[in-house]
């Protein structure tokens, strides 16, 4: 009987030690990436018809093998950084050097925070966000950027964007994008196409679809009421 008790006690202690050594698994996303490719878009005074004359830019940046096809599909693996509604003064057509803050306002040197926007039952990602497209697709995820800053600087022919963001799960995202040939598409001089947004769907959450930018109306009601 005493021997049986000793065996049970030994098994219990081994099980207890195993539980103490067991750590909760937490997937680690790259927190300080080097963005290797990217481009910007200039939208002019996109909200002028609502009384906001500041110009609007957006920025897209990719890491690793991740690219966006002409059909709007994200292929490869890595991070896709999207910064919509970056506000500069009405005299600027490119990013002036300085520190840009994530803030829910149309003031100069501000970037709209990310959020999920619903229109007629369809949900869209708007503002600032990051897509992690992982080799293990169960860990691929979109996270909204809700706070932080981005510093823009120029050295000789180099354009540099240094990110220091806070995501909606309270994690940090830093990262840097450098280029000696920043591509800027000018949509201010032609009829504005529907802005590209990433539309959430069940079968493929990383398919970029076109839709009418109803964010205009959202911002109208939000800011003109103040």
Per-residue pLDDT, 215: 45
Q: Does residue 116 lie within any of the structural domains?
A: yes
DSSP per residue over the chain, as a string? -HHHHHHHHHHHHHHHHHHHH---------SS-EE-EEEEEEEESTTGGGT---EEEEEEEE-TT-EE-TTSBEESSEEEEEEEEEEE-TT-SS--SEEEEE-SS-STTEEPPPEEEEETTEEEEESEEEEEE-SSGGG-EEEEEEEEEEEEEEETTEEEEEEEEEETTS-EE--EEEESS--EEE-SSSPPPPPEEEE--SS-TTEEEE---THHHHHHHHHTT-
Q: Is residue 1 part of a domain?
A: no
19 in any annotated domain: no
Give the structural domain span for 122. Answer: 27-223
Tell me how far the alpha carbon of residue 133 is from its chain's centroid: 12
The answer to whether position 76 is within a domain reads yes
Angstrom CA distances, 152 to 54, 94, 109, 155, 156, stand at 18, 11, 10, 10, 14
For residue 9, tell me if it sits in a domain. Answer: no
Residue 103, Cβ density class (10 Å: 0-12 exposed, 13-18 middle, ≥19 buried) = middle
- 17 in a domain, yes or no? no
Q: How many CB atoms sit inside 10 A of residue 100's CB?
A: 24
Instruction: Determine the pLDDT at residue 4.
Output: 52
Question: Which pLDDT score, from 0 to 100, does residue 192 have?
Answer: 52
Residue numbers in the chain where pLDDT is lower than 70: 1-25, 190-226
Number of domains, the chain? 1
- pLDDT at residue number 17: 61
User: What pLDDT is stored for residue 172 in this prediction?
Assistant: 95
Half-sphere exposure of 77 (CA within 13 A, CB side): 9
Whether the Cβ atoms of residue 33 and residue 63 lie closer than 8 Å to each other = yes
Per the domain annotation, does 86 fall within a domain? yes
Residues 6+ apart with CB under 8 A from 60: 38, 39, 40, 41, 68, 80, 81, 82, 83
Does the residue 160 lie in any domain? yes
């Amino acid at each position: 009987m005493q021997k049986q008790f000793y065996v049970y006690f030994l098994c219990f202690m081994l099980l207890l030690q195993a539980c103490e050594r067991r750590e909760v698994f937490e997937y680690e996303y790259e927190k300080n990436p080097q963005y290797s490719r990217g481009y910007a878009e200039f939208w002019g005074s996109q909200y002028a018809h609502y009384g906001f004359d500041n110009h609007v830019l957006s920025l897209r940046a990719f890491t690793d093998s991740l690219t966006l096809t002409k059909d709007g599909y994200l292929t490869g693996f890595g991070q896709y950084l999207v910064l919509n509604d970056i506000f500069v003064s009405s005299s600027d057509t490119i990013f002036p050097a300085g520190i840009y803050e994530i803030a829910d306002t149309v003031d100069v040197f501000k970037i709209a925070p990310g959020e999920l926007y619903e229109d007629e039952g369809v949900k869209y990602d708007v503002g600032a966000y990051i897509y992690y497209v992982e080799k293990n697709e169960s860990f691929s995820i979109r996270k909204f950027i809700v706070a932080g800053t981005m510093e823009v600087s120029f050295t000789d022919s180099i354009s540099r964007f240094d990110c220091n963001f806070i995501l909606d799960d309270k994690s940090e995202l830093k990262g840097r994008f450098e280029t000696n040939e920043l591509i800027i598409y000018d949509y201010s001089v032609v009829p504005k196409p529907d802005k590209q947004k990433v539309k959430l769907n069940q079968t493929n959450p990383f398919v970029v679809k076109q839709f009418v930018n109803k964010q205009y109306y959202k911002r109208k009601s939000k800011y003109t009421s103040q």
